[in-house]
A and B are shown apart, each in its own frame.
Chain A
């Protein structure tokens, strides 16, 4: 796949394009509304949802607060069960490790289970450079790969494509990757799924190396868990001789029994099912069953930077259910690509700037890709307070400050584009400190009411924002003046009159 996130425009620019794409908006609206309603129903079935959510949040919080302890425990358990554990500080590190592991097998093809972590590090591109072809096997990832495209949703990466677009991609591209699409393929979803089954079966049966991520790792037992629907995961996890799993260090849970929380909340919150069709669990290697070699690559790549931020840390609780995407009014209109990362939607808006820092225009714009309506927090099965982190990150973008970047304490300079915002804040601070000047300013505004334009005459920077918003008319009288006035008339009574009475 040649799709890349490098050099993508900032969120507002990308969103301006995508919101004009009526087909994309139609696809997204249909998909997000369908899943929203189903999810609400699946959640309602459990009378203890609030308690499960609370336990899930606390379990993840405990894991994160003692991450070093649990990682060492996991490493020991995986090793004892016949697996090999590798540590990767960043994307290059991880790509180098995986490339070497594949080379050692002598193979030049690998099959892949859908994995956000490998998308994040650009593993397919790194393998391609080393002459290794990586085949995506999840149906949506296949659509994305064949269409030379980027995923736009955590759960349904090809959500931006509708059925006839998918049929066209299959007809045009399947042949050059392997078995071609059947003659006369229609846009019926069942027929499209059948075409994918036939196309990929050949790859599964001959694959010697599988690459996966994981939904959970159990520290106590060294067990990995992959939750899926199609069976492509099971194929990649059990048929090859070598299995390489690339997993973010935050994907831990302390004990096997703790899975009882997440195996209830994840499927219901994500696909709105009581349980997803297939869940695979494995611990190291098993004699004569599944791969004889198992490698676990533990990935940092910015996660410890997020961990160092006591407000932002909670983003690492995420179990990638994508419920926050499906309820987000901004995601529904802008689509996943505008977020410029494998992690779109509200969770992406707080995760990406923490993993990558806020130095680029795109990453600095992400904390603003939200109306702070709070719907994402309501549906989050691990209670991540996304609005709280958004506001926190906005402050970092505007004001700068210290943050940990690539493990180093770094002074962040205030972002360039926010000079006006900072100037405004400084002016406000000055005015509040100088009451006489403020009073004079307010009176001037009140007297000049008639001359106030409906819209702000801003050119350059603020134009996008002001073009679609009316300027509120200044009040005929400032609150301070009204207060003084009212107090005098009211003969010293402390109780202010209602606004209606004093309007004239």
Chain B
């Protein structure tokens, strides 16, 4: 017998007490938990997202979509960023003319990315109740590594369309076949005396720009 057969036959012997006819449904799963923890309008939902993101030390900026180039340009200049990686679907207009735009490409090595100052991406969905942005490798988000190796991440959230209330709502919007990164604040650790310290291996600075339709 190979290990697969050994493990499966051990399991079947171990479960001799379980009726097999009904399938997994024989164990009832009560789902009385809530799909969201409050009823909110768009403005309240966006406010909560901003509040929870800030609570975990992400830096939140709110602007009209037409102001995105100004806001992103200022954030990059403040960091002194010269080389900025951005997936192809991030509009050219979002980046100031004086930074070098680095493409997200298959041939790039982790070391190449380590020599990049900042990364600009969009996101797939944002969760207000937990202060989370989710990247799913969509065309304005790129490969997982580009939002990981550079020390500064600017993430644009399109509100209100990309903002949901809760974790259950976020999961039902996402496709598990796509690789995902759920981000709630910059990287952190509590490993030393359970003291939270922001910034270990991922980007130490996370700017989230919540953009609403229309002109400012």
Please give the residue numbers on chain A whose beta carbons come within 8 Å of chain B beta carbons, in ascending order: 27, 30-31, 34-35, 45-48, 51-52, 54-55, 58-59, 61-63, 65-72, 81, 86-89, 93, 137-140, 143, 156-159, 162-163, 166, 189-190, 192-194, 196-197, 200-201, 204-205, 218, 221, 223, 229-232, 234-235, 238-239, 249, 254, 256-257, 259-261, 263-264, 271, 273-283, 286, 288-290, 298, 300, 304-305, 307-308, 310, 404, 407
A418 to B83, CA, bound (A): 70
Please give the residue numbers on chain B whose beta carbons come within 8 Å of chain A beta carbons, in ascending order: 2-4, 6-8, 10-15, 17-18, 23-24, 26-34, 37, 52, 56, 106, 110-111, 114, 127, 129-132, 137, 143-145, 148-149, 167-168, 171-172, 176-195, 197, 199-203
Q: Closest CB of chain A to B4's CB: distance in Å?
A: 4
Q: Are A238 and B144 in contact (CB under 8 A)?
A: yes
Q: Which residues from A are CB-within-8-Å of B197?
A: 189-190, 193
Q: Are B148 and A235 in contact (CB under 8 A)?
A: yes
Q: Which residues from A are CB-within-8-Å of B202?
A: 230-231, 234, 277-278
Highest count of chain B CB atoms <10 Å: which of A223, A264, A277, A288: A277
A256 touching B171 in the complex, CB below 8 Å, given contacts A52-B33, A162-B193, A274-B52: yes
In the assembled complex, 10 residue pairs joining A and B whose CB atoms fall closer than 8 Å, in A order, are A81-B177, A87-B6, A230-B188, A264-B167, A273-B56, A280-B181, A283-B177, A290-B144, A290-B179, A304-B10
Q: Which of B31, B37, B110, B131 contacts A275 (CB 8 A)?
A: B131
Q: Are A234 and B168 in contact (CB under 8 A)?
A: no
A31 to B127, CA, bound (A): 30
Q: Which residues from A are CB-within-8-Å of B180?
A: 279-282
A89 to B143, CA, bound (A): 36
Residue ID in chain B nearest A85 by CB atoms: B4
Q: Which residues from A are CB-within-8-Å of B201?
A: 137, 197, 200-201, 204, 230-232, 234-235
Q: Closest CB of chain A to B59's CB: distance in Å?
A: 15
Residue ID in chain B nearest A27 by CB atoms: B193
Q: Which of B23, B132, B181 contacts A69 (CB 8 A)?
A: B23
Q: Are B195 and A189 in contact (CB under 8 A)?
A: yes
Residue ID in chain B nearest A54 by CB atoms: B30
Q: Are B33 and A234 in contact (CB under 8 A)?
A: no
Q: Closest CB of chain A to B169's CB: distance in Å?
A: 9
Q: Which of A46, A71, A143, A305 contacts B8 (CB 8 A)?
A: A71
Q: Which of B7, B24, B27, B132 contacts A249 (CB 8 A)?
A: B7
Q: Are A139 and B179 in contact (CB under 8 A)?
A: no
A140 to B14, CA, bound (A): 36
Highest count of chain A CB atoms <10 Å: which of B29, B106, B176: B176
Q: Which of A67, A163, A263, A279 contacts B181 (CB 8 A)?
A: A279
A193 touching B11 in the complex, CB below 8 Å, given contacts A58-B29, A89-B3, A288-B143: no
Q: Are A229 and B10 in contact (CB under 8 A)?
A: no
Q: Which residues from B are CB-within-8-Å of A264?
A: 167
Highest count of chain B CB atoms <10 Å: which of A34, A138, A238: A238
Q: Which residues from A are CB-within-8-Å of B192?
A: 139, 158, 163, 166, 189, 192-193
Q: Which of A229, A231, A260, A276 contacts B171 (CB 8 A)?
A: A260
A453 to B141, CA, bound (A): 76
A307 touching B15 in the complex, CB below 8 Å, given contacts A34-B194, A143-B191: yes
Q: Are A239 and B110 in contact (CB under 8 A)?
A: yes
A311 to B14, CA, bound (A): 12
Q: Which residues from A are CB-within-8-Å of B172?
A: 257
Q: Which of A201, A204, A218, A275 contacts B176 (CB 8 A)?
A: A218
A197 to B151, CA, bound (A): 11
Residue ID in chain A nearest B182 by CB atoms: A279
Q: Are B7 and A298 in contact (CB under 8 A)?
A: yes
A298 to B10, CA, bound (A): 14
Q: Which of A55, A140, A159 contacts B31 (CB 8 A)?
A: A55
Q: Which of A62, A286, A298, A307 contacts B137 (CB 8 A)?
A: A286
Q: Are B30 and A31 in contact (CB under 8 A)?
A: no
Q: Which of B110, B168, B183 contacts A277 (CB 8 A)?
A: B183
Q: Which residues from A are CB-within-8-Å of B26?
A: 65
A68 touching B179 in the complex, CB below 8 Å, given contacts A59-B29, A138-B191, A289-B143: no
Q: Are A277 and B15 in contact (CB under 8 A)?
A: no
Q: Closest CB of chain A to B88's CB: distance in Å?
A: 13
A395 to B183, CA, bound (A): 46
Q: Are A274 and B184 in contact (CB under 8 A)?
A: yes
